[in-house]
């Protein structure tokens, strides 16, 4: 069953029904037994600005024709098979970009591989940004601005980042500068797209947190990731516990806590606080409490990552020029 999780850049611009299109509300994006995923309107609110010269809609695939000026004529068969499988499993996270022709027909501007894969997957509609301007820079900059303002789920955010890199020639440095995030944070978010499809569905539905997902990426194979993801859901494992399981490399252990720490009980409240801080700062945080004092340890990957964490701790502090 196809489950559409998100729309990449499509989650950043207003929906606008067009001839040969369907509305977003006609698609279900939930997992049985999981919390429903909010629609762009529910999630973003009125603060999201309209993108000049563009709207988002789902278009009938047969109403789209390829770009005759497309420089690519050969598509890697193995890569296409992987993309077709991904579309069947989780839907298309990154919309194509089209321009309107006469009547209710459209011409591809960006995303021919995604369009071909959607056809091969047997889907009848495809999410698309309908562009009405020839200024790529204007469209790119408007989408970047909305990316900064929009509240996306982790998978939608990762898909939007990837589409900026693929379709608009943006670099991670440009993204980091324009939306006020560090390059390591963007890199870590992009890594979520490497998760198996079943795990991506859980992350998009909110069953697994972004902290859980990043910890799972430390495992060596997709099968190991899926098995541990199932344990997280079934047993309610915390991010800290998952990190310890991954560090030990023991997927079958009933008690994932290292032996050297088993004799030192940790209060459940401290574990909960550490998990909340880990999710807030998007890094590993340890909270230890001794007889007379406690200690919080916050891990960071680089100076830029440290600056990101500090800005989260004190958002009102002005940054150095």
The whole-angstrom separation of Cα 143 and Cα 152 is 13
Give the model's pLDDT for residue 257.
45
Give the model's pLDDT for residue 39.
46
User: How much of the chain exceeds pLDDT 70, in percent?
Assistant: 76
Give the pLDDT mean for 25-42.
42
Least confident of 14-23, 105-114, 148-157, 293-302: 14-23
Higher pLDDT, 59 or 255: 59
112 has catalytic annotation = yes
With the C-alpha atoms ordered 63, 68, 69, 72, is the resulting torsion angle positive or negative?
A: positive
Element of type H or E holding 138:
helix 136-149
Three-state DSSP class for residue 235: helix
The whole-angstrom separation of Cα 126 and Cα 119 is 9
Q: Which domains does the chain have, with CATH numbers?
A: 8-191 (3.90.1530.10), 208-264 (no CATH), 265-321 (no CATH)
Give the pLDDT mean for 268-290.
79
The whole-angstrom separation of Cα 130 and Cα 10 is 10
Give the model's pLDDT for residue 70.
59
Q: What are phi and psi of 99, to 5 degrees?
A: -125, 150
Least confident of 133-142, 284-293, 299-308: 133-142
Contacts of 289 (CB under 8 A, 6+ apart): 267, 270, 295
Contact 71, 108 (CB under 8 A): no
pTM of the model: 0.57
First to last CA, the chain: 51
Which one is catalytic: 107, 112, 145, 307? 112
* Span 148-190, pLDDT tens digits: 767 778 888 888 888 888 888 888 888 888 888 888 888 888 9
Q: What sections of 249-287 are H helices per DSSP?
A: 259-262, 268-281
């Amino acid at each position: 069953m196809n489950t559409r999780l998100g729309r990449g850049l499509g989650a950043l611009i207003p929906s606008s029904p067009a001839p040969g299109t369907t509305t977003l509300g006609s698609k279900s994006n939930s997992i049985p037994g999981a919390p429903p995923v909010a629609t762009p309107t529910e999630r973003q609110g009125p603060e999201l600005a309209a993108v000049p010269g563009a709207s988002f809609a789902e278009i009938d695939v047969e109403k789209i024709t390829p770009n005759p000026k497309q420089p690519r004529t050969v598509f890697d068969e193995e890569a296409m098979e992987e993309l077709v499988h991904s579309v069947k499993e989780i839907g298309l996270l990154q919309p194509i970009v089209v321009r309107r022709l006469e009547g209710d027909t459209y011409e591809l501007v960006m995303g021919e591989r995604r369009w071909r894969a959607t056809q091969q997957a047997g889907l009848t509609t495809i999410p698309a940004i309908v562009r009405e301007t020839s200024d790529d820079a204007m469209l790119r900059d408007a989408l970047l601005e909305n990316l900064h303002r929009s509240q996306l789920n982790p998978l939608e955010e990762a898909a939007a980042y990837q589409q900026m890199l693929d379709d608009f020639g943006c670099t991670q440095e440009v993204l980091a500068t324009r939306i006020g995030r560090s390059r390591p944070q963007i890199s870590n978010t992009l890594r979520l797209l490497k998760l198996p499809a079943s795990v991506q569905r859980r992350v998009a539905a909110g069953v697994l947190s972004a902290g859980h997902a990043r910890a799972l990426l430390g495992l060596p194979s997709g099968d190991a990731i899926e098995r541990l993801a199932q344990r997280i859901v079934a047993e309610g494992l915390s991010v800290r516990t998952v990190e310890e399981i991954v560090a030990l490399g023991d997927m079958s252990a009933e008690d994932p806590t290292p032996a050297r720490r088993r004799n030192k009980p940790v209060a459940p409240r401290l574990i909960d606080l550490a998990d909340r801080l880990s999710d807030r700062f998007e890094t590993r945080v340890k909270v230890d409490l001794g007889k007379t004092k406690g200690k919080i340890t916050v891990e960071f990957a680089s100076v830029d990552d440290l600056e990101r964490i500090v800005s989260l701790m004190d958002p009102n502090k002005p940054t150095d020029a």
